[in-house]
Structure 1
């Protein structure tokens, strides 16, 4: 397969997975599918990551995300 097709499929998969995270976080429902609000939230997060407390913020968000994934896995087993 051509290299550009492989890269395109990888990018498509990444975009689908990232969209799935937006769904898992319930941002679509909580914002009434207002994409400007969702983009604003993401920009706000990016601004936080450019600040002095980057490592602390990453650690906090990683913990929250890991707990959410773990809870989701438990719910899927039930």
Structure 2
């Protein structure tokens, strides 16, 4: 992955952290946010991976749909 693509990816992922409300909910405590992500990664390494992915995909899809009215037309 080229540097510019990687930078864009990191910015987009940071935006998802913000959209999820994690910055405000944790008072911008990066150790807590990192801990949340480490927990999620552990779930993805477990036998419950497929179930977790499906659950999180559904929640994420609903959350994106709920935000859609706030988005500007393309």
TM-score (norm 2): 0.92
- Which runs of 5 or more residues in structure 2 are unaligned? none
Give the Cα–Cα distance (whole angstroms) in 1 for the partners of residues 71 and 9 of structure 2: 22
Q: C-alpha separation between the residues in 1 aligned to 2:37 and 2:2?
A: 25
Cα RMSD over matched residues?
1.3
Which portions of structure 1, spanning 4 or more consecutive aligned residues, are displaced by more than 2 angstroms? 74-77
Partner of 2:60: 65
Aligned to 1:26: 21
Is there any run of 5+ residues in structure 1 with no aligned partner, and where? 1-5
TM-score in terms of structure 1 length: 0.87
Which one has the largest radius of gyration?
1
